Structure 1
Amino acid sequence: MHVHWIQHVDFETLGNIKEWISKNNHTVSCTKQFAGDKLPDISSFDHLIVMGGPMGVYDTEEYPWLEEELQYIKKVIECNKPVLGICLGSQFIAAALGAKVYPGPIKEIGWHPIDIKNKEILSFKNNNPTVFHWHGDTFDLPKNAELIASTKEVPHQAYKYKNAIGLQFHMEQTEETIQQMVTHCKEELEIGGTKIQSEEAILSEKSLFESNKNVMFNLLDKMGQ
């Protein structure tokens, strides 16, 4: 299988998804939007992964390529290819499906629990696992989409629509990728908030990477079947 992924900023990478691709002997290619790369022909890949970034899908004046990417993701979904969107990527999928994306009621940054609605899709051992968040925007649930995870403050955390899955949170993170996010987005931590953890609290968590990775790998396996 050939996996193509879209990168919006140089410090948000595939994380442990790179290990999953290598483990399964898949091939991979990347569009670096920040470098001006062109999006490939949809027929050239089997699975699309849309990663995160600090911009919003509505920031089209500052990032003119956002509208083109939005229409591109819509076409990939229509072609019935698996599409996984993480954080900004989940917002892209929601917008491509006609849902509204907008600033959420609260920023969630750090390790916070979610409420799982469908354990077949997100196969954590319990219904309230702790995952890594870094988002301020949220979205309405797309029409005909199934909600698969929530938090009390931001109800739409994960959803499935046919061949597409959107995750507001980050199960792909490694110690290295979280360090990169903290380094490049430290100003958001300094603002503070009821669900914004300190840099020390974020970086001190070591015990959750393996369980999150296992669920991510299981999700990717199912999407590729």
Structure 2
Amino acid sequence: MERLADPAEALNNSIIVIEHWAVAEPDFGRQHLAARGYDVRVVEPWRGAILPELTGEETGVMLMGGPQYVTALDEAPYLVDEMRFAEAAMAKNVPLVGVCLGSQMIAHVLGARVGNHPDGAMAMGYYNVAPTDEGRRYIPDGMKVLAGNSQGWDMPSGVTALAHGELFANQAFQAGETTIALQFHPEVTRKILDQWQTEFADSIGRLGTHSIEEQDAGFDEYDQALKAWYMGFLDRWFGAGN
């Protein structure tokens, strides 16, 4: 099962998931890890929740996506604490995954530039990602992924590039042995995609985005394979089911 984290409670053998918006339902990754028997604990600093103290014994941390921007910390000052939390996870070798905004925060912590697409484009739909030679350890050739972002990151110095994309050039990297960043969204369920299409409707039609019909067709064609990949990735990264 999953629950809201109590910052005063020991978090050993749990996975801490940091959320940034009122998601329509627990995303696929949260559902999968909970089904594996992990104690999935959700923390929402955007709603005033306090981040717990990491002991280094946690199973993992996930920094999820959201509508905030690393380039506008004055509008979301709690992201500063989240980035310190990410730094602590990296320092304590707690397995860390950043998704979209989460990946941008990790890139920022590592000194990379985060910002808008040079042509003002935005991703919203299904796009090709191409693994690097090192990235084939995690990402297969020919994978189509769901993306939803208007900002991306330069590849940080000293990391291992894992994947590149057709709209935003950088899509995944690994830092050290315990940190991985994914610019794309393998966690989005059909219900959450419906929420995207409603709450971010004004973005559809921007350069680079796909129509609702294209997004729906992409979900029907690619989601099953993407979710199968994500299950395997989470199992491997966090040791789920071991």
What TM-score comes out, normalization by structure 1 length?
0.92
Deviates more, 1:76-85 or 1:4-13: 4-13
Partner of 2:34: 22
Q: What is residue 52 of structure 1 aligned with on the other side?
A: 65
* Match for residue 201 of structure 1 among 209, 214, 217: 214
The amino acid of 2:51's aligned partner reads: L
3-state SS in 1 of match to 2:72: coil
The 2-side partners of 1:6 and 1:12 are apart by: 15
2:154 is aligned to 140
Contact 1:56 1:88 in 2 (8 A): yes
| Number of residues of Structure 1 aligned to a counterpart in Structure 2 | 220
The secondary structure found in structure 2 opposite 1:172 is coil
1:78 aligns with 2:91: yes
Preserved CA contact (<8 Å) 1:12 1:51:
no
Q: How does 1:144-155 map to 2 (within 5 A)?
A: 144-155=158-169
Match of 2:136, as an amino acid? K
- 1:188 and 2:203 correspond: yes
- Please name the residue that 2:8 is paired with: none
The one-letter code of the counterpart of 1:146 is T
Q: Within 5 Å, which residues of 2 pair with 1:6-45?
A: 6-11=18-23, 14-43=26-55, 45=58
What SS does the aligned partner of 1:143 have?
Answer: coil
Distance verdict in 2 for CA 1:14–1:159, change over 3 Å = farther
SS of the residue corresponding to residue 159 of structure 1 reads strand
Structure 2: any 5+ residue segments left out of the alignment?
1-12
| Cα offset, 1:207, TM superposition | 2.5
Report sequence identity in percent. 23
**Matched residues in 2 for 1:14 and 1:141: separation?**
30
| Unmatched tracts of structure 1, length 5 or more | none
C-alpha displacement of 1:14:
4.7
Contact 2:155 2:161 survives alignment (8 Å): yes
Residues 1:121 and 2:138 aligned together: yes
TM-score in terms of structure 2 length: 0.85
Residue 228 of structure 2 is aligned to residue 211 of structure 1: no
CA distance in 1, matches of 2:98, 2:25: 13
Q: Residue 90 of structure 1: which of 81, 90, 103 is its match?
A: 103
